């Protein structure tokens, strides 16, 4: 739980106002200074402030350290407040017992968390063991390879996590010192990178400009003390200008509150009615004692006791499981997590053993086109026996090709359309040669460009053929691959997935795009280089305000491509890992040789939270720009190699 900045400001203002209104404290009934009917933390702080003002001599560096931890902190304030409450009780005859603050358990300074952000494990010159990056959400890893001065550990500053990110670290309740390591290894002037750092919801560092503080390629270290009351330290890095970043983090324990910390895991988190959920609370702990009791509330009226418990949910819904632990001193802590119980999708339709073929036909523009480029035309392939709610595959041709040429290039996919019953759309821009993926019109949602023309083709097909809006996919090669990535960024609400061969990141073609020859040398040559955050922001900016799910994507590229540089694969990886909220590192990778192909692919795979592959890349050593479509792999990625009523991601992530 993060503290409210507004509440903290309010408390501070009340305390400052009290300096001018000291007499008001005696108007409180039995210590209820803020007259809210209870003696609480606000009263304690107001009383402590009054006592400071009344007895300034008591607050020197030796006397005011009431709890003996070598610092005047909130615990001292609370102890002084309790003393003053007792004094009021003695003078007034009231009985206003205030709940005492937990007595801190002093500990030898102990490092409880240390990570090399964006990098591998590293042992510092002082013996600190920094783990490989973990505990983060958001942002991207980057190896800058720079040499950093002002430190005995330059290696620690050679990697970073950049972009808006947050680290969440489970710790016992207590007092901690957070040490952050920074170095500006990218920008060369002050003002180029500015960001904020918040710890436990309170801004700890505002408008940090590392270059202004230390210069370039020079270590800069900050330390902030923090009180943790919820069993977790949250450290947030938020961008003001360019990208927030951090090189390393170290957290040192100074004292523990002595209270237990509840923690648990749920397995599985996605279940169906009648399935068993197991709750394991063995991760709970007590820093100075023993947990003696575990209570689990399953959120549906049932509860159980024990470290490991199980439960069967009978009805679909979203439930909050709460675990409460009690230690040997009677102190408690509770925390909750969500479990989703949903009905498994069902499918009753069956396909005949053989189905008639359809034919490729042009659709009159009067039926689908509204205020989009006149040279764009629509061709459609409807199998002889489409399914009752057919999926849609859009296939975009390359420069110099046409809808009919692309149809001939996709014969395995056409055969699957006959078998499975999905419909194919073949957009045609042969009058103009290449697709427009560089103009503002095409890179803006409903901007009137080629992208909107294709979106209108999909809408026409959904309406005319009762097609499935949850199973629309897009593919293409070269210019068609560029259009595929652009469509996934400009119209993420339409598509469930896409497959692009030898393309570029969405928006890359806008870097010096020439409408007259439809070319962009910067991007084609692999010279448009951006951070993952910048690529992600560009894609998100094509449909501002969209907060829905993003389509999965499959990329192919020849590693010796001299037409569209293979460097664009690396830039696309940055973009789509950022857009999809994935780690910069894949879940796994392999190398395969397609049957009778004579070449190989080096593949990388990224998975979502439920373990489903949502991003994969296929890089082919020795291959150039003109490569065949891996049609079987594309069909499998879309879930269209066999008949099904549901997208495979929906099926995989449902109970």
What is the per-residue pLDDT across 514-546, written as a single tens digit (0 to 9) for each?
Answer: 888 889 999 999 999 999 999 999 999 999 989
- The pLDDT value recorded for residue 196 is 96
Q: What is the rounded CA–CA span in Å between residue 263 and residue 294?
A: 11
Torsion of CA 364, 369, 373, 379, to 10 degrees: -40
Better-scored residue on pLDDT, 255 or 602: 602
Q: 68 falls in which pLDDT band (50, 70, 90)?
A: low
C-alpha distances (whole Å) from 648 to each of 77, 391, 492, 567, 642 are 58, 12, 18, 31, 11
- Could you give the domains of the chain? 5-101 (no CATH), 106-256 (2.60.120.430), 265-341 (2.60.40.10), 360-652 (3.40.50.1820)
Which residues lie closer than 8 Å to 467 by C-beta, 6 or more apart? Answer: 389, 390, 391, 392, 423, 461
Is 478 in the active site?
yes
Q: What is the pLDDT of residue 46?
A: 53
The yes-or-no verdict on residue 148 having pLDDT over 90 is yes
Beta-carbon count within 10 A of 542 CB: 23
How many CB atoms lie under 10 A from the CB of residue 443?
25
Give dist(CA 298, CA 320) in Å, integer: 7
Give the pLDDT mean for 459-477.
97
Any alpha helices (H) in 216-362, and if so which ranges?
none
What's residue 70's pLDDT?
53
Give the residue from 296, 376, 383 showing the smallest Cα distance to 339.
296
How confident is the model at residue 61, as a pLDDT? Answer: 39
* pLDDT value, residue 386: 94
Paired tokens of 93? 């005859």
Q: How many CB atoms lie within 10 A of CB 206?
A: 11
- pLDDT exceeding 70 applies to what percent of the chain? 82
**pLDDT tops 90 at residue 620:** yes
Whether the Cβ atoms of residue 39 and residue 32 lie closer than 8 Å to each other: yes
Q: Which residue has the tokens 């159980």?
A: 304
Please provide the DSSP assignment of 241-280 as one string: ES--EESEEEEEEEEE----B---EEE-SEE-TT-EEEEE
Quick one: tokens of 244? 């927030």
Most confident of 17-21, 68-72, 408-412, 598-602: 408-412
φ/ψ of residue 163, rounded to 5? 90, 170
Q: Find the angle CA(162)-CA(573)-CA(184) to the nearest 5 degrees.
A: 25
Which value, to the nearest 10 degrees, does the dihedral of the CA atoms of residues 650, 653, 654, 655 take?
Answer: 150
- Rounded to 5 degrees, what angle do the CA atoms 96, 101, 105 make? 155
Q: Which residue, 391, 415, 410, 368, is CA-closest to 465?
A: 391
Q: Is the pLDDT at 477 greater than 90, yes or no?
A: yes
**In 465-556, alpha helices (H):** 479-490, 521-524, 532-540
| Residue-level pLDDT at 95 | 46
Please answer whether residues 203 and 197 qualify as being in contact, where contact means their C-beta atoms are separated by less than 8 angstroms.
yes
Given this model, what pLDDT does residue 3 score? 40
Give the highest mean pLDDT range of 101-115, 265-279, 500-514.
500-514
List strand residue ranges (DSSP E) for 402-541, in order: 423-428, 472-477, 497-501
Q: Is 201 a residue whose pLDDT tops 80?
A: yes
Predicted local confidence at residue 474, as pLDDT: 98
**Average per-residue pLDDT for the chain:** 85
Q: How far apart are CA 490 and CA 486, in angstroms?
A: 6
**575: Cβ–Cβ under 8 A, 6 or more apart, which residues?**
505, 506, 532, 535, 536, 538, 539
What digits encode the pLDDT tens for the residues 300-346? 999 999 999 989 998 888 899 999 999 998 989 899 998 888 776 66
Q: Which two tokens stand for residue 8?
A: 């903290």
* 408 φ, ψ (degrees, to nearest 5): -70, -30
Across 231-368, the runs of DSSP E, i.e. the strands, are 232-241, 245-246, 248-256, 265-267, 270-271, 276-280, 291-297, 303-305, 308-312, 317-327, 332-341, 360-363
pTM: 0.56
Contacts of 512 (CB under 8 A, 6+ apart): 520, 521, 522, 523
Tokens of 110: 């102990």
Estimate to the nearest angstrom the gap between the alpha carbon of 616 and the chain centroid: 18
pLDDT band, very low/low/confident/very high, at 16 (cuts 50, 70, 90):
very low
- 547-556 average pLDDT score: 96
CA distance 193 to 603: 35
9, 165, 318, 612 from 654: Cα distances, Å: 45, 29, 13, 11
- Mean pLDDT within 589-606: 90
What CA dihedral angle connects 135, 136, 137 and 143, to 10 degrees? -140
Tell me what pLDDT residue 350 has.
72
Q: What is the mean pLDDT of residues 79-105?
A: 50
What is d(CA 537, CA 518) in angstroms, rounded to the nearest whole number?
24
> What number is the average pLDDT over the span 445-468?
97
Q: Which of 284, 478, 584, 620 does the annotation list as catalytic?
A: 478
Output the pLDDT for position 517: 85
Res 93 pLDDT > 60: no
Query: Could you check whether the bond before residue 137 is cis, i.e. omega within 30 degrees of 0?
Result: no
Mean pLDDT of 492-507: 98
| Span 368-422, pLDDT tens digits | 999 999 999 999 999 999 999 999 999 999 999 999 999 999 999 999 999 999 9
How confident is the model over 217-231, as a mean pLDDT? 92
Instruction: Pick the closest to residue 472 from 452, 486, 451, 457 (CA basis).
Output: 457
Percentages (nearest 5) of helix, strand, coil residues in the chain: 25, 30, 45
pLDDT above 80: residue 239: yes
Classify burial at 534, counting beta carbons within 10 Å of its beta carbon; exposed 0-12, middle 13-18, buried 19 or more.
middle
Per-residue buried b or exposed e for 330-345, using 16+ beta carbons within 10 Å of the residue's own CB: ebebebebebbbeeee
């Amino acid at each position: 739980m993060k503290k409210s900045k507004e509440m903290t400001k309010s408390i501070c203002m009340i305390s400052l106002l009290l300096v001018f209104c000291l007499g008001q404290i005696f108007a409180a009934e039995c210590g209820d200074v803020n007259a809210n009917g209870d003696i609480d933390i606000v009263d304690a702080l107001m009383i402590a402030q009054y006592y400071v003002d009344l007895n300034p001599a008591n607050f020197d560096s030796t006397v005011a350290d009431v709890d003996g931890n070598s610092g005047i902190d909130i615990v001292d304030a609370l102890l002084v407040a309790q003393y003053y409450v007792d004094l009021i009780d003695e003078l007034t005859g009231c009985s206003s017992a205030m709940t005492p603050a937990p007595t801190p358990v002093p500990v030898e300074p102990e490092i409880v968390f240390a990570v090399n952000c964006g990098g591998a494990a590293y042992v510092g010159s002082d013996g600190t063991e920094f783990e490989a990056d973990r505990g983060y959400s958001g942002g991207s890893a980057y190896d800058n390879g720079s040499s950093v001065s002002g430190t005995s550990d330059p290696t620690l500053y050679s990697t970073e996590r950049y972009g808006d990110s947050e680290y969440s670290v489970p710790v016992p309740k207590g007092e901690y010192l957070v040490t952050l390591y920074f170095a500006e290894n990218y920008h060369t002037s002050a003002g180029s990178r500015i960001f904020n750092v918040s710890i436990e919801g309170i801004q700890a560092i505002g408008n940090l400009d590392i270059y202004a503080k230390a210069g370039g390629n020079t270590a800069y270290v900050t330390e902030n003390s923090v009180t943790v009351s919820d069993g977790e330290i949250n450290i947030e890095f938020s961008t003001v200008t360019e990208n927030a970043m951090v090189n390393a983090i170290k957290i040192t324990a100074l004292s523990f509150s002595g209270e237990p910390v509840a923690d648990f895991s749920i397995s599985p988190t996605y279940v169906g009615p009648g399935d068993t959920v197991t709750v394991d609370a063995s991760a709970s702990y007590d820093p100075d004692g023993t947990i003696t009791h575990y209570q689990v509330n399953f959120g549906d009226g049932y509860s159980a006791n024990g470290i490991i418990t199980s439960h069967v949910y009978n009805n679909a819904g979203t439930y909050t499981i709460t675990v409460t632990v009690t230690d040997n001193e009677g102190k408690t802590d509770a925390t909750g997590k969500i479990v989703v119980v949903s009905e498994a999708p069902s499918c009753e339709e069956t396909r005949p053993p053989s189905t008639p073929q359809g034919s490729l036909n042009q659709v009159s523009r009067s039926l689908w086109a509204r205020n989009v480029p006149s040279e764009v035309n629509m061709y459609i392939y409807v199998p002889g026996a489409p399914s009752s709610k057919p999926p849609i595959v859009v296939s975009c041709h390359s420069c110099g090709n046409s809808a009919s040429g692309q149809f001939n290039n996709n014969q395995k996919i056409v055969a699957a359309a006959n078998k499975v019953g999905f419909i194919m759309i073949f957009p045609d821009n042969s009058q103009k040669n290449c697709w427009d993926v560089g103009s503002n019109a095409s890179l803006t949602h409903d901007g009137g460009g080629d992208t909107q023309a294709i979106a209108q083709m999909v809408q026409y097909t959904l309406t005319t053929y009762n097609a499935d809006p949850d199973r629309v996919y897009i593919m293409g090669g070269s210019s068609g691959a560029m259009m595929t990535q652009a469509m996934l960024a400009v119209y993420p609400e339409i598509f469930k997935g896409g497959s692009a061969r030898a393309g570029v990141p969405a928006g890359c073609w806008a870097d010096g795009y020439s409408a007259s020859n439809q070319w962009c040398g910067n991007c084609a040559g692999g010279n448009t280089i951006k951070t993952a955050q910048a690529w992600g922001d560009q894609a998100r900016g094509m449909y501002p305000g969209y907060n829905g799910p993003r389509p999965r994507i499959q990329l192919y590229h020849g590693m010796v491509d001299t037409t569209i540089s293979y460097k664009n694969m690396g830039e696309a990886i940055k973009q789509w890992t950022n857009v999809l909220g994935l780690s910069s590192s894949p879940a796994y990778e392999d190398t395969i040789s397609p049957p009778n192909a004579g070449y190989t692919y080096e593949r990388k795979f990224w998975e979502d939270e439920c373990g489903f592959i949502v991003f994969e890349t296929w890089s082919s050593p020795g291959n150039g720009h003109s490569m065949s479509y891996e049609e079987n792999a594309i069909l499998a990625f879309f879930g269209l190699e066999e008949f099904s009523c549901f997208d495979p991601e929906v099926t995989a992530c449902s109970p």
